[in-house]
Structure 1
Amino acid sequence: MARLYPFRALRYDPARVNMTDVVTQPYDKISPAMQERYYEVSPYNLIRVILGKQKPRDTDKENVYTRAAATLSEWRAEGILKEEAEPALYGYSQTYKVPGTEEVRERRGFIALAQLSDYADQVVYRHEQTFPKHKSDRLALFKATRAYCEQIYMLYSDPTFTAEKAIFESGAAPELEITDEYNVLHRVWKLTDPALIQRVLTAMDDKKLIIADGHHRYETSTGYMHERAAELGVDEKAEPTRTADGLPQPAFPEQAMMMTFVNMDAPGITILPTHRVAFGLIDFHGREFARKAEAYFNVEEIPNTPEGLFPGDAALLKRLNDTPGVAFIAATRDGDFLLTPKPEAIAPLLSNLSPRQQQLDVTQLHKVVLEKLLGLNEETVRAGSNVRYLREASEALAQVGSGNADIAFLIKPVTLEQMKDISLNLEVMPQKSTDFYPKLLSGLAMYTLD
């Protein structure tokens, strides 16, 4: 059973800052160039907390994590960040164009706390692998700041739309509107009415939760919850306490984490593909790769343009998406190739996976192409030693063209139904299998443990 809680969020004071200048994309989507821009736009930008700059002379006593904690403390003391006077939930909508199209969608959800639990409890489900390095980084930040400044993106199923109706049908104007660097409009409503809050919490009681974005932060927060429960000598599954209004609160602060909840049955969810580039391959040659791939795939070379140039990303993606079933584009400096699987040939390489896993494009790419054809074992791929993950096909192709990568693999997106099926059957896909768009802004609300 999912246990959700309202909370007294720590929030920027809009009278002291321009909100557009202080919020950011999630930490794992921030490039070095974006980090620099966030630093420059405002001295109060959240980047200084969630992804600060490292310095050459950093030590155990002074480092990116201690500076984050000091910055957060200073902003609270100055009144740049203020804690809300009463517990609340926060309606949250994002209006955006689907990348590469003119289609406009709105994704609606709400921000609340949720009690943390192990995957074995089958309340929260994951859908992809994680990177150990990312988890150790987030744990160090959580321990130093004692605050969760970013939300985890959670999915649930409710065909009756009970929570959405309670939150959004009043017609009230949002208290906050921000347009981000991707031209996504973010709107936030603060909900403090105890009766409304209780209706939403009750509607969520029986829901199973699937992590869309934030696997690293969820697993890190859960580990931290176990650690703190042992230190405090409390039951990590203790019953909630109650406010004067009868609203539930976590038994101890680390028992919960801040999340945004989105109904899978509502319109507005978009999943983009995450393309792969492989680099640092010894004696790699594109045509030799294509020849070896013929043992497992039908390989069709995509001809150059009449001008003798390689096809651009739009042409390659159209060719990929027009191909039914599992397919990848392998782009090299020697040529571009469309790969479609030979089922009997690849079957032995996928025999230890469930039928639902065997049908996934991303699984076949990892198991057959990365591991078998390129010789990159699972641990190497998970460590990121020879593989990068990119949203933009144009960037993947550019890395190959510049020599910063040996080969790019353009893939189709995982569908919402595939992800749900994998998750609820306690399976996981390879890391970075999904790219939910748009991302949740960091800095709209924060959950402090002290």
Structure 2
Amino acid sequence: MATVRPFKAIRPAQKYADKVASLPYDVMNRQEASKMAAENPYSFLHICRSEIDLPHQKDPYDKSVYEKARENIANFLDKGIFTQDEEPALYIYRQVMDGRVQTGIVGTVSVDEYQNNTIKKHEFTRVEKELDRIRHFDVCDANTEPVFLTYRDDKRIRVLIEGWASGRKPTYDFTGAGGIRHTLWVVDDPQTIESLTSLFGEIPSLYIADGHHRSASACKVGLKRREETPDYTGEEEFNFFMAVIFPDADLHIFDYNRVVKDLNGNTVESLMEKIKAAGFKIDKKGEDVYRPEAKHCFGMFLEGNWYRLTAKEEIIPDHVIDSLDVAILQNKILGPILGIEDPRTDKRIDFVGGIRGLEELEKRCREDMKIAFAVHPVEIEDLLTVSDNDLVMPPKSTWFEPKLGSGLFLHQL
């Protein structure tokens, strides 16, 4: 059963919330972060991407970068930009994007339940990215950004959350980058907190939607602190890490598309013949953008034209992973025909989140790529099924929007 605990959040004073809030650390590079924060001394990018305040430091993983993040947190607290709640609370966090609403709970979850797979995963992690956030969390003595979790919708939790939010004025309510509205309520009533934690305690599993590296890093920091505190009781804050937990019914997964640099020695004609031989029906759609309308349909953009590729039933495996469209595309076209054997490391392939639109695929094909593939989005139930079976999604399978606002809450370890 899932543990969700209240905590004493470090968070922006109300008047600074809209200025502090930023995109997550991992959706931009250093140059983009510098530009975003250039005219805003309150931006959380000064903490989650603190290398922007050290222009002389070229190594983003140098010890000085993490020390600068810790220094900036202390400065925000000293100046009253940040405050810390005096009593543990849960937080209702709502995001609205293009009229679509997702409402969840911010709390802390258990390191042990990450270890025993009560908190389920669907991605591999990379060691270097884990090490970065381990150092960041450890030096800052805080989970500085939350993990994005989901659960199978529970009407009782939804009713309790909506009842609290509908009857009270929010602590924060502003529109941030990308037109995303962020609204937050502090749940400080002990009885309501008890009700929510009890209901989550009846949920068999939580699922990582986004933030596998943050989860793994937060867990390893907690285990490191245990080694350093041999008489730990299990109740210390380092035994828990911060998460935003949304019901699955609220979430929207965008497509995650592919662009490839060349045709791997094929002509257009030979490529088409090989795709047909691999088990796809090809329909030319012309110059107008074609978006796949169903599972097992793909868009292909090549030399100014869009094509619909439809996988024939006989090539669709009866397997939870191999039947995903991203897997069919990799196993039938990208690997055997275009020579992309390992999409995690091959420099000839790149990935484009669906939030950028299919026009971005056309743009990339005009600039630096030769061919693009548009994929029908993975469904949330597919992700949950993969996680329940302790399997791993193919790389770059899911793109969640909206992204969580960073800087609205920190969890002190």
The reply to whether TM is greater than 0.5 is: yes
Separation in 2 of the partners of 1:175 and 1:139? 31
Change (3 A) 1:61 1:389: closer
Please report how far the alpha carbon of residue 136 of structure 1 lies from its aligned counterpart in structure 2 after TM superposition: 2.6
Where do 1:338-349 residues align within 5 Å? 338-344=308-314, 346=315
Q: 1:125 aligned to 120, 124, 127, which one?
A: 120
Deviations 1:401-447 (A, max 9, x none): 11x22322110111122112111121121122112221211111111
Aligned length, in residue pairs = 404
Q: Does 1:105 align with 2:100?
A: yes
Q: Which residue of 1 aligns with 2:375?
A: 411
Q: Does 1:233 align with 2:217?
A: no
Separation in 2 of the partners of 1:195 and 1:21? 33
Separation in 1 of the partners of 2:347 and 2:362? 19
Q: Which residue of 2 aligns with 1:248?
A: none
1:125 and 1:210 in contact (8 A); partners too: yes
Please report how far the alpha carbon of residue 302 of structure 1 lies from its aligned counterpart in structure 2 after TM superposition: 2.3
Q: Which residue of 2 aligns with 1:46?
A: 44
Q: Does 1:180 align with 2:145?
A: no
2:261 and 2:369 in contact (8 A); partners too: yes
Separation in 1 of the partners of 2:346 and 2:110? 31
Where do 1:184-199 residues align within 5 Å? 184-199=180-195
Q: Which residue of 1 aligns with 2:159?
A: 165
The amino acid across from 1:79 in the alignment is G
Deviations 1:42-97 (A, max 9, x none): 11200111123364544686543232222222222332211111111111112221
How well do the aligned residues superpose, as a CA RMSD in angstroms?
2.5
1:93 and 1:107 in contact (8 A); partners too: yes
Q: Which residue of 2 aligns with 1:385?
A: 347
Q: Which residue of 1 aligns with 2:212?
A: 215
Change (3 A) 1:194 1:30: same
Where do 1:47-446 residues align within 5 Å? 47-52=45-50, 53=52, 55=55, 57-58=57-58, 63-97=64-98, 104-117=99-112, 121-159=116-154, 161-170=155-164, 171-207=167-203, 208-234=205-231, 239=234, 251-264=235-248, 266=249, 268-279=250-261, 283=265, 286-300=268-282, 302-304=284-286, 310-311=287-288, 315-317=289-291, 320-321=292-293, 324-333=294-303, 335-344=305-314, 346=315, 355-378=319-342, 381-383=343-345, 385-391=347-353, 392=356, 393-402=358-367, 404-446=368-410
Where do 1:5-24 residues align within 5 Å? 5-15=5-15, 17=16, 19-24=17-22
The amino acid across from 2:177 in the alignment is E
Deviations 1:163-199 (A, max 9, x none): 2322331411111102122222111001111111111
- TM-score when normalising by structure 2: 0.89
Q: What is the identity percentage for the equivalent residue pairs of Structure 1 and Structure 2?
A: 25
- TM-score when normalising by structure 1: 0.82
Runs of at least 5 residues in structure 1 that lack an aligned partner in the other structure = 98-103, 240-250, 305-309
